[in-house]
Amino acid sequence: MAEEAFQDAIIEITGTVMRLTPCPYHAKLATGETWDSFGVTVNPNGFRPDCSTCLTTPNTYEDLDFDSVELS
Amino acid sequence: MAAFVVNVGGGSGGKQIIANRLKGTGTEPLNIQWGSSGTAAAATDTALGSTTGATESRTAGTSSIVTTTNTSDTYQVVGTITATGTPTVQEVGLFDAIGTGNPPTGGNFFLHANHGSTVLAVGETITYTIKVQFT
């Protein structure tokens, strides 16, 4: 006799978007460019260590819209 | 939004990955890839809906077993993808391989989900936390 091994698998996903705060230096970045393109050292948070605008204006964060789904 | 552990024939879907991992075979599906399609995910999907304009590499996430309801009942992958262009992102998937190419392809498709459309700038990121709880 067959029995169900699992009643449900529930998938729950969250996503957090990190948006860079615009500053004059950021504006120089074009498609495909990265901070490395400018030969600068970048902090783990994506900021240039010597960019006063970046350091005084933090990045912003926003949540993505997901639903939790139950599957039989 | 839809989210599915995909189930396709030929031993290449998410449910087949689960069976293989119980047997101690297969590869862990901890590689995260985003895509640009707004078409609702389905259990019969075999790939992301579209990667047009979303060519970033897959990220090997950090996996763990966590507790949601009962002790150690949930598989979790956490990972961050950084935009190298200006993609419109509205879907995410888990694969059992990091893949090759740009956008990456290859590996077996474990999970597919949609989320709200998000346009990113170069250097912006999405950190995904993906949980599959067995109840």
Distance of CA A5 to the CA centre of its chain: 36
| Summary mean pLDDT of chain B | 90
Per the CB < 8 A criterion, the answer to whether A7 and B135 are in contact is yes
Residue of A nearest to B7 (CA): A71
Per the CB < 8 A criterion, the answer to whether A65 and A59 are in contact is no
Asked if omega into B103 is within 30° of 0 (cis), the reply is yes
Residue B39 pLDDT more than 50? Answer: yes
The answer to whether B115 contacts chain A (CB < 8 Å) is yes
| Nearest C-alpha neighbor of B86 from the set A30, A18, A62 | A30
Determine the average pLDDT of the residues in B54-70: 95
Distance separating alpha carbons of residues B67 and B112, to the nearest angstrom:
22
Question: CA of A50, closest CA in chain B: separation in Å?
Answer: 17
**B66, B110, B122, B129, best to mutate vs chain A, most A CBs in 10 Å:** B122
Question: CA of A24, closest CA in chain B: separation in Å?
Answer: 14
Residue of A nearest to B91 (CA): A66
Residue B27 pLDDT more than 50? Answer: yes
A:29-48 residues touching chain B, CB 8 A cutoff = 29-35, 46
Determine the average pLDDT of the residues in B84-107: 93
Given this model, what pLDDT does residue A72 score? 38
Q: Looking at this predicted complex, what is its ipTM?
A: 0.84
Given this model, what pLDDT does residue B4 score? 76
Q: Which chain B residues have a beta carbon less than 8 Å from that of A58?
A: none
Q: Cβ of A30 and B122 within 8 Å?
A: yes
The answer to whether B5 contacts chain A (CB < 8 Å) is yes
Distance separating alpha carbons of residues B18 and B124, to the nearest angstrom:
33
Per the CB < 8 A criterion, the answer to whether A2 and B111 are in contact is no
The answer to whether A56 contacts chain B (CB < 8 Å) is no
Residue keyed to tokens 């262009």: B85
Q: Which two tokens stand for residue A55?
A: 């350091």
Out of B12-16, B20-24, B35-39, B115-119, pick the least confident. B12-16
Please state the domain extents for chain B. 3-133
Q: Kind of pairing, strands B88-95 and B125-134?
A: unpaired
Given this model, what pLDDT does residue B91 score? 94
The answer to whether B19 contacts chain A (CB < 8 Å) is no
Residue B92 pLDDT more than 70? Answer: yes
pTM: 0.79
Residues of chain A with pLDDT under 50: 70-72
CA B123, B77, B97, B88 dihedral sign is: negative
